[in-house]
Amino acid sequence: MVKDLIHSWGNRGGRFLVIAVVLVCGMSGCVTDPVTGSKKFSLLSRDQEIALGQQGDSQIVAQYGVYDDPAVASYVEGLGKSLAAKSEDPNYPYTFRVLNTPVVNAFALPGGWVYITRGLMAYLQDEAQLAVVMGHEIGHVNAHHTARQYSTQQLTSLGLGLASIFFEKARPFLGAAQTGLQLLFLANSRDDEREADELGVRYATKLGYQAGEASKFFETLQRIEDQSQGGALPTWQSTHPDPGERVVNVQTLTAKYQQQYPSAQYTGTDPEQYLPHLNNMVFGENPRQGFVQGGVFYQPDLQIQFPVPSGWQVANFATQVQMAPAAGDAAIIMTAGGNTDPTSAANQFIQGNNAQVTSGGPTTIGGFPAYQIQSNLNVDDGNGGTTVLTALSAFINKNGILYVFHGYTTQAQFGTYASTFQSVEGGFAQVTNQSVLSVQPSRLQVFHAPRTDQFQALVQPSAQLNFSVNDLAIMNERQLTDQVAAGTSLKQVQP
């Protein structure tokens, strides 16, 4: 944007435009591109970036959950802080988190919040690869990519108005504007991604890692992409340049930065130093956080269950379950948390959202004290107007935890969905099935090859998990017929 304005200097009205640029930069921010050194426009000041990241972080933690393993957390944090110290701005309040999701992804929020999923960690083979992936995300922070995307989106929304999407209407129910999640879905441009790759290689090289190792992980991404579709988070590869191109670029960039930051030896290439961190790590979806079986959603740790309407999609997050029919014209959202009594919780909802209650009152659901209401809500339609939604809401306190359901659709459609909402909310109950209560996640097992043999002869695929020997080959960065020496560390999945 700045470039465009400067370009018009001397042609027409140039003086005014340059003054405008100065004012904009003074009030909010021009940021320096760490690769080219050029100035770029950003609406957000450094403090605003940090505030935005902080706000987004709490939402990401609530939605995806942090992987509960202090040893893994401190390992990732230690590496992240060392890399951040090599970045252009080491003074952001850097925070590194391992998210508890099987999706293969990594991402960053403005201000220094960097996330890597346990799903991605499982597919790495050594610390140098981890360093480049984390360096890439630290690069997004330092180049203000997400902050600048946010700026552009803010500007667009001022001028054009945002497209109306159904879940935008869910905002009163979700409590917050879900800034964190919106930021995730702001795709960085391919140019930004190339720049982040360059910065990732630069930081990793400065720290003494053999950054060229990352090209093997880009090959892994290509292999994953070739055989599967993405998950609930936007997948790392889908928003990034073609992995094939990155395999080559990382090699070129590594040569460039090894010349700039010479070292007798670049390290981090020994799998034996990385793989032990993965031993016993949860792999795949963790059923203890909730799963659907036979048309019922179960959460073993909370010991709750409720029916899932036939044909509806279910998205399970750390503190929330969202369900919607294929048509997308209704939704049921269940959140868990706090220990409010049902009547107070219902009143807070009614007052906080100015809900016009048409029926309802205290009741019992699944044997637990509850309050259920039907109400109409005026909500922003995203186009400057308002629309009326009708909701059936249930507030249930089970053993000191409040569970809140909102089944909602447009006022006109409510008749179609009312009985579905009631069957889900009224079906909330204590889990008694022992096999549900005792379910355990699958875990990674890191073991030493007992003999020299072909890869495919040394690992055990899991039929139960539908995890084939080919999947294991991808996860181990090997081909089926590769010779593996006795004593080499390999990963497999333990059901």
**Shortest distance, CB of residue 145 to Zn ion, whole angstroms?**
8
Closest CA to 465 of 441, 434, 489, 437: 441
Neighbouring CB atoms inside 10 A of 14's CB total 14
The nearer residue to Zn ion, 56 or 426, going by C-beta atoms, is 56
Is residue 473 within 8 A of residue 456, CB to CB? The reply is: yes
**Shortest distance, CB of residue 50 to Zn ion, whole angstroms?**
20
The nearer residue to Zn ion, 196 or 484, going by C-beta atoms, is 196
**Shortest distance, CB of residue 197 to Zn ion, whole angstroms?**
8
CA distances from 466 to 258, 388, 402, 463 (A): 42, 45, 36, 5
Residue 134 within binding range of Zn ion, rule CB under 5 A? no
CA-CA-CA-CA dihedral for 189, 195, 200, 205, to nearest 10: 170
**Shortest distance, CB of residue 179 to Zn ion, whole angstroms?**
19
**Shortest distance, CB of residue 142 to Zn ion, whole angstroms?**
12
52: number of CA atoms within 13 Å, CB side? 24
E strand map for 244-381: 282-283, 291-293, 296-299, 304-307, 313-316, 320-324, 330-336, 356-365, 368-380
Backbone phi, then psi, for 423, in 5-degree steps?
Answer: -65, -35
* Listed ranges 86-94, 177-185, 192-200, 215-223: which one lies at the site for Zn ion (CB under 5 A): 192-200
The nearer residue to Zn ion, 99 or 196, going by C-beta atoms, is 196
The nearer residue to Zn ion, 60 or 196, going by C-beta atoms, is 196
Residue 196 within binding range of Zn ion, rule CB under 5 A? yes
The nearer residue to Zn ion, 105 or 178, going by C-beta atoms, is 105
**Shortest distance, CB of residue 107 to Zn ion, whole angstroms?**
7
Closest CA to 199 of 56, 5, 35, 50: 35
The nearer residue to Zn ion, 182 or 468, going by C-beta atoms, is 182
Between strands 39-42 and 483-484, the pairing is unpaired
> Which residues have C-beta within 8 Å of that of residue 258, sequence separation ≥ 6?
205, 266
* Listed ranges 186-194, 254-262, 275-283, 465-473: which one lies at the site for Zn ion (CB under 5 A): 186-194
Residues 25 and 19: their CA atoms lie apart, in Å, by 10
* Listed ranges 56-64, 177-185, 187-195, 222-230: which one lies at the site for Zn ion (CB under 5 A): 187-195
Residues paired with residue 458 on neighbouring β-strands, in sequence order: none
* Listed ranges 57-65, 191-199, 365-373, 461-469: which one lies at the site for Zn ion (CB under 5 A): 191-199
The nearer residue to Zn ion, 57 or 193, going by C-beta atoms, is 193
Amino acid occupying residue 158:
L
* Residue closest to Zn ion when measured from CB atoms: 196
Residue 109 within binding range of Zn ion, rule CB under 5 A? no
Q: What six digits make up the tokens of 59?
A: 């939402």
What string marks each residue from 353 to 392 as x (binds Zn ion by CB under 5 A) or -?
Answer: ----------------------------------------
Backbone phi, then psi, for 26, in 5-degree steps?
Answer: -70, -40
Window 435-454: residues binding Zn ion (CB under 5 A): none
Closest CA to 378 of 354, 357, 358: 354
**Shortest distance, CB of residue 196 to Zn ion, whole angstroms?**
5
The nearer residue to Zn ion, 196 or 392, going by C-beta atoms, is 196
* Listed ranges 158-166, 195-203, 218-226, 315-323: which one lies at the site for Zn ion (CB under 5 A): 195-203
DSSP states along 104-126:
--EEEETTTEEEEEHHHHHH--S
**Shortest distance, CB of residue 200 to Zn ion, whole angstroms?**
9
Binding residues for Zn ion, how many (CB under 5 A)? 2
**Shortest distance, CB of residue 405 to Zn ion, whole angstroms?**
36
Is residue 404 within 8 A of residue 348, CB to CB? The reply is: no
* Listed ranges 27-35, 62-70, 188-196, 259-267: which one lies at the site for Zn ion (CB under 5 A): 188-196
Residue tagged 């902050």 (tokens): 147
The nearer residue to Zn ion, 193 or 477, going by C-beta atoms, is 193
Grouping H, G, I as helix, E, B as strand and the rest as coil, residue 318 is coil
Straight-line distance from the first to the last Cα atom of the chain, in angstroms, rounded to the nearest whole number: 53
**Shortest distance, CB of residue 212 to Zn ion, whole angstroms?**
19
**Shortest distance, CB of residue 240 to Zn ion, whole angstroms?**
6
The nearer residue to Zn ion, 235 or 489, going by C-beta atoms, is 235
The nearer residue to Zn ion, 113 or 298, going by C-beta atoms, is 113
Dihedral class, residue 400 (left if φ above 0, else alpha if ψ from -120 to 50, else beta): left
* Listed ranges 24-32, 196-204, 319-327, 412-420: which one lies at the site for Zn ion (CB under 5 A): 196-204
Residues 284 and 307: their CA atoms lie apart, in Å, by 23
What is the binding site for Zn ion (CB under 5 A)? 193, 196
